[in-house]
Amino acid sequence: MPSKRRSSKRPYGQPHPELDVDRVANATGGRRETGPGGEEHIVVTPRPSDKTYTCPGCGRDIDGATQHLVAWPADGLFGAEAAAATRRHWHTHCWNTFGRTRG
Ligand SMILES: [Zn+2]
């Protein structure tokens, strides 16, 4: 009986679908923005919810009823859908300032 160990990494050899970021962005009502670290991200404004999220920028809670945004890398290694699965909720302010040196 083969033992299929699940690791956190995806197996190699999967088909590498051509990224259709713009379609994903359109489907989710998102837009492309340059995120922290200079990577392209898809950014969407989620509908209000009663959930609480943790902002990766400041580590504090985000009240789902507060307007915030959701972002994920536009050029995920495993395709746009996989990348979308890694989406994170951000305070709008944190997204706009985290990892950026402006001024
Ligand atoms: Zn924050």
Q: Which residues are near ligand 1, the ion (C-beta closer than 5 Å)?
A: 55, 57-58, 91, 94
Mean pLDDT, residues 9-14 taken together: 58
What separation, in Å, do the N-terminal and C-terminal C-alpha atoms of the chain show?
60
What pLDDT is stored for residue 24 in this prediction?
60
What pLDDT is stored for residue 52 in this prediction?
97
CA of residue 55 to ligand 1 center, whole Å: 5
Mean pLDDT, residues 41-69 taken together: 94
The helix (run of H) or strand (run of E) holding residue 88 is: strand 88-90
Weakest-pLDDT range from 23-32, 36-45, 62-71, 90-99 = 23-32
Domain boundaries, the chain: 21-97
What pLDDT is stored for residue 5 in this prediction?
65
Q: Is the pTM of this model over 0.75?
A: no
CA of residue 92 to ligand 1 center, whole Å: 7
Q: Beta-carbon neighbour count of residue 21 at 10 Å?
A: 21
CA of residue 5 to ligand 1 center, whole Å: 36
